[in-house]
Chain A
Amino acid sequence: MTASEKDIPMVQLLSPEGDFSVPSEYAGYAEFIKELREEDFLKFYRDMARIRRFDNEATALQRQGQMGLWVPAVGQEAAQIGSGHAVGPNDHIFPSYREHGVAITHGVDLMSIIKMFRGVNHGGWNPEETRFHLYAIVLGTQVLHATGYAMGLNFDGKVGTGNKDEDLAVITYFGDGSTAEGDVSEAFLFAATHKTPQVFFCQNNQWAISSQVESQTTVPLYLRGDGFGVPGIRVDGNDVLACYAVTKKHMDDARAGLGPSMIEAFTYRMGAHTTSDDPSKYRDETEYEMWKSRDPITRFEKFLRKQGIGDEFFAEVEAAGDQLATEIREATFALQEPSIESMFNHVYSEPHPLITEQLAWLKGYEASMGGHEGAPATEGDVNYGGAR
């Protein structure tokens, strides 16, 4: 940690050695940890380990030609799993494209994500069921979508009614790079002026592809919203408990009608930006080593072991990870190309003459080339929901 980093207040409840302690100024956040039971802690660990194993398998599959691209989230598991579990079952989540960890906390089928990066669907999960909206590939756009949705909740009177089961809020995920997009500033402005029920969750993973965060902002990112009227806080993004507690608190406040806020999860992208990127070209190995010592999963394992969780549990999690990897691998190899109908089916809800004509033309064209190799159209093309 650099000298300047040390001077910036940051919510941390777990030290890198896995010791739990609550600084007095953050006592309010720690309240949320007291509500957690052992099974919740184990779930946090299971999900983090699961998503990392999945991530590594997906990277390998991309390297084996099974996907056009993969976007690894290695290193950001605590930020994603911690915050994801803090989001209520009916709240809405607007992710960027690296939120695989958040996705599993809301029951998104991991194969849907694989399919998207393979190019056989455009996401394919149903946001109405999972409350986890489709990945936004264009940087920062989802932040405006989230703000619009949150404004809608206001208009519908779903905020601050005093009925905790009825009130709703929105969380949106974006990266340090996206903060430089105009969309994010616009979203801050609308959120503040409309007092939206919304949390801006910024995962500052230190790198926007090859641009360091220092080259994009001279002010810590959690202060970015201040001028717009969106207060912010920095949380240790590699501390799953801090991420959970802070997100829980701010989502509760948003639901209660206290307005938008920003969370900067201070974390690190341990892998490449995508499989098309080679961080060794621009990143210092010593930086990686420093962050490796803060690995969120290792840290939480130390914590759990200090609570008396034994080898048996960790072995079981590892075995489950290998099992998941095998399932993902086999399912990926078994994927079929989508039918050509599938890209026309969802343009309009009802038959449309232009679409019908285009489909007929394409079919004729494919036939002239010796036929399309894709599978016939089935419901399986659109895979809603999935394994929870």
Chain B
Amino acid sequence: MAQTAYFDLPDVGEGLTEAEIVSWKVAVGDTVSVNQIIVEIETAKSLVELPCPFAGTVVELLAPEGATVEVGKPIIGVSVEGFTAAMSAGHAPNANSSMHSAVAANANNAVVTEAIQTVADTASTATTEDKPQPNLVGYGAVGQAASRRRPGTSENSAANTISNAGAAASAVTAASTAAVAHAAPVAITTPATDLIATVPNEDTVLAKPPIRKLAKDLKVDITKVRATGLAGEVTREDVMAAATQASVFKNLSTPAPSSEREERIPVKGVRKAIANAMVTSAFTAPHVSIFVDVDATRTMEYVRRLKNSADFAGVKVTPLLIMAKAMIWAVRRNPMVNSSWTDTEIIVRNYVNFGIAAATPRGLIVPNIKDADQMSMLELAKAIEALALTAREGKTTPAEMQNGTITLTNIGVFGVDTGTPILNPGECGIVALGSIRPKPWVVDNEILVRQVTTIGATFDHRVVDGDVASRFVQDVASVIEEPALLLD
């Protein structure tokens, strides 16, 4: 019987905890042989090609290129004929399990009731699988073991199995919670009893030391982070998801002066892509930048009211949302800023794929929200939140970064007033939102303290002349000054 065998990311160095998927050499449906190179990964030490331990047909790739995967998480599923127990039995003690199998449940026939039965079975299987791993010798007191492990892991895998039961399951592997499950919200839900049983403090939370440090550095309270790890531990992704973008990128501390006089950083990956895009943009499109100071007091009030409204409960509302809405409105009045230059023609786009520049651990990327002009305020708020989360986790796909029409870059979160942004290649307009803070402002010849910000914008002068550019920026500024204009 064909079974799906999973290859867990091994520790290819000595004591590495994670690696980045650089490129897949195989695709779903490909036939692979033993020791065929299937993927190139980059660890803290080196670039390494991984040979496949099985022969069979690739049925799943569990991590996209660019993703950082923890050692021990499955990265590929291979359908193997005659999978022997011996193949799954031996696990290198260092790397814990590096492969395991799951019977390809006869999923096509599965009806809901059967699935529920499977859940019950799986839950018990998962519990046995989940039996505590031996700890480091001499670490942790006898008897404490049971309480250190948060309940809920078996529920996780059970819930996960529900979500997968219809789709030739990755079944028993609780690991797939993290890798496969975009159905994750189900899996992550913690039973209410859990909260009472374990009031977590820093010592009872399971997390590896580097993850604890990361949480500390990012000012994330690790006891409040939802743990999605295999053994109920907090993962890097969990901490990153809980961190705010600003905290991730603010300088955390001033490092000691480097002992080396110079440092050479190879230009590659995202950095290289950014550099190419910037050069292409700066040297093909003549840039023109303009700035305007604006009183954003009413926008801030509006944000506060939206936050308090029942409709927006649980949704993140920020000035960036109003800014996005303002730009979309201003595009309708000045469509040329939402166009593209091709040397033979100017393509005016009567839709808005709204780009938001996002600083991520991998560098700057600009994913966009497709057809943002068709969205209500609430839909747009949710879309922005999802975009930011995806970007921060490093999971943004190339498709999400293509076909943008105009871009907003929120440099205010870094505490600066304004800048001259460079156009995202292929677009004609980009707007920078500076920090919003109390400043003296003249109202009716009196100096008042108002929430003031600066809007900076850059345009492709081949397409957009000064008058259109100015009108567009003025339109955006007027909405920031009086958001009620959005009712227009």
Mark A residues whose CB is within 8 Å of B. 57, 60, 62-69, 118-120, 275-278, 280-281, 329-330, 332-337, 362, 364-366, 368-373
Contact = CB atoms under 8 A, between A and B. Distances in A.
Given A63-B48, A63-B50, A370-B131, A334 B93 contact: no
Contacts of A373: 134
Contacts, number: 97
A280 B47 contact: yes
A113 to B, nearest CB: 15
Given A276-B13, A369-B133, 7 more contacts: A63-B50, A66-B53, A66-B90, A68-B95, A119-B93, A334-B86, A370-B132
Contacts of B487: none
Given A60-B35, A362-B137, A66 B142 contact: no
Contacts of B47: 278, 280
Contact of A65 (B11, B34, B52, B133): B11
Contacts of A68: 11, 14, 92, 94-95
Contacts of A330: 86
B99 A65 contact: yes
Give 3 closest A-B pairs by Cβ, nearest first.
Answer: A65-B98, A65-B10, A278-B46
Contact of B90 (A119, A275, A334, A370): A334
Interface in B182-201: none
B134 A369 contact: yes
Contacts of A276: 12-14, 45-46
A99 to B, nearest CB: 21
Given A65-B99, A68-B95, A366-B134, A336 B10 contact: no
Nearest to A367: B142
Most buried by B among A118, A333, A362, A372: A333
B86 A118 contact: no
Contact of A63 (B12, B14, B135, B142): B12
A372 B48 CA distance: 32
Interface of B is mostly: loop
Bin the interface of chain B by size.
35 or more
B384 to A, nearest CB: 40
B51 A64 contact: yes
B132 A332 contact: no
Contacts of B51: 60, 63-64
B63 to A, nearest CB: 15
A368 B145 contact: yes
B89 A365 contact: no
B89 A334 contact: yes
B143 interface: yes
A62 B142 contact: no
Contacts of A65: 8-11, 91-92, 95, 98-99
27 contacts: A57-B35, A60-B35, A62-B12, A64-B10, A64-B52, A64-B98, A65-B11, A65-B92, A66-B53, A66-B90, A66-B98, A68-B14, A68-B94, A118-B92, A119-B94, A277-B45, A277-B46, A281-B46, A329-B34, A333-B86, A333-B87, A333-B89, A336-B90, A368-B145, A369-B134, A369-B135, A370-B131
B313 to A, nearest CB: 43
A360 to B, nearest CB: 13
B472 interface: no
B459 interface: no
A42 to B, nearest CB: 27
B55 to A, nearest CB: 11
Contact of B10 (A63, A334, A335): A63
Nearest to A330: B86
A335 B90 contact: yes
